[in-house]
Structures are given as structure tokens and as C-alpha cells.
Amino acid sequence: MSKILITGGGGYVGSMLCTALVNLGHDVTVLDLMKYDKGSLNHLYYFKNFKLIKKDVRDKKLLKSLLKKNEFIIPLAALVGAPLCDKYKRDAVSVNHHSIKNLVSLSSKKNKIIFLTTNSGYGVGEKNKFCDENSPLNPISLYGRTKCDAEEEVKKNLKILFALD
């Protein structure tokens, strides 16, 4: 089974993903401050293949040690949504973008990053036209911009890894 690090695993998507991965037998480590829903992972505490670290994703030293121990990295830690990001601008940039930049710079070829993004990167599209993966990004909020910037960090890393292979 795989060793998986999920940052922000205490959120809704993260808690559902953690539950599924733990039940499949994977070793799951969650790095999360557990700021918003302190009980979302309570049902996993008794599993031997689950570990919660209540620390900040911006702790580079901790992140570096966790990357060495895990093959798959799923970075979900973020301030989510335009209103929250507007209220805490500095934290939004440091968590949503800079923590991904740190993760990418500290990762090795051993690490496989599975990056989930948001439709907020597309902004407002054309009337009666749906956005898809080929649509241009046009974020109109700080939340959308930080998520697009984080995605670019991951994509740059992919180019570097493939160029080295």
C-alpha cells in the first residue's frame, strides 16, 4: 500500500478522501491545523494506518520531513472561497500559493503530487458557453488567483522533472 500525505485533510473533501484511502489500507498522514472542523477525522483515530499532525502547512522543516516519508502528496490545505481570502489576504497567499511553492521546491522525484484546483480560476466566462480544461484562466478573486498561481508552481515542477528524465 502507498504512503500518502494530505495537507488540509480535515476539510470536507480531505476528510472524505482520508476515509476512503484509510479503508483501502493506505498509510495516510494528515497535516492540518484543524481550525474549522475539529471533529471531522475523529472516526479515523483508531486506525493504525492513519496519523494526524496538528501543525501548519507553512512549517517548511516539518513539510520536508513529511515529504521524505510519503510517496503521494495531496495538497488540500487552503483558505477556501473569495470572502475568506479577502478577509485574510496575507494568510490566503501564504497558504494557498506559497505553501504549494514550498512543497514543490522541497519535493523529490520520489514524490508524486496530486493537485486539485478550483473552477474559480476561470472567473466569469462567456454567456451560454461552458468552461473546460482548454478554456483560458481568468480569475477575478484573490482565491482564484492564489489557486491558479499554485497550479502553475506544480506545472513548472512537472516540466523540470520531465526535462531531467
Per-residue model confidence (pLDDT) at position 65? 97
Q: Give me the mean pLDDT over the 132-155 stretch.
A: 88
pLDDT of residue 127: 79
Measured CA angle at 87 (ends 85, 88), to 5 deg: 65
Q: Domain containing 97 — which CATH number?
A: 3.40.50.720
pLDDT at site 8: 96
**Residue 41's closest CA among 16, 21, 58?**
16
pLDDT at 118 (0 to 100): 79
pLDDT of residue 165 exceeding 50, the answer is no
Q: What is the reported pLDDT for 125?
A: 67
Domain that holds residue 97: 3-164
Q: What is the mean pLDDT of residues 117-132?
A: 76
Q: Which residue has the higher pLDDT, 133 or 94?
A: 94
Assess contact for 39 and 14: CB atoms under 8 A: no
Q: Please state the domain count of the chain.
A: 1
CA 150-165-149 angle, to 5 degrees, is: 10
pLDDT one-digit tens code per residue, 33-54: 999 889 999 999 999 999 999 9
CB 71, CB 110: distance < 8 Å: yes
- With a cut of 80, say whether residue 131 has pLDDT above it: no
**Residue scoring higher pLDDT (135 or 98):** 98
Cβ(22)–Cβ(91) under 8 Å?
no
Residue 2 CA from chain centroid, whole number: 18
Q: What's the pLDDT at 163?
A: 45
Instruction: From 95, 97, 105, select the one nearest 121 (Cα to Cα).
Output: 97
Please report which confidence band the pLDDT of residue 130 belongs to, taking 50, 70 and 90 as the band edges.
confident
Which pLDDT does position 164 carry in this prediction?
A: 46
Distance from C-alpha of 139 to C-alpha of 158, rounded to nearest angstrom? 22
d(CA 85, CA 94): 11
pLDDT in tens, 63-118: 999 999 999 999 999 999 999 999 999 999 999 999 999 999 999 989 999 998 87
- The total of other beta-carbon atoms located within 10 Å of residue 107's CB is 20
CA–CA separation, 50 and 143 (whole Å): 30
Task: Give me the residue label for grid cell 502528496.
Answer: 73
Cα gap 65→108, rounded to integer Å: 12
Tell me the whole-structure pTM to 2 decimals.
0.89
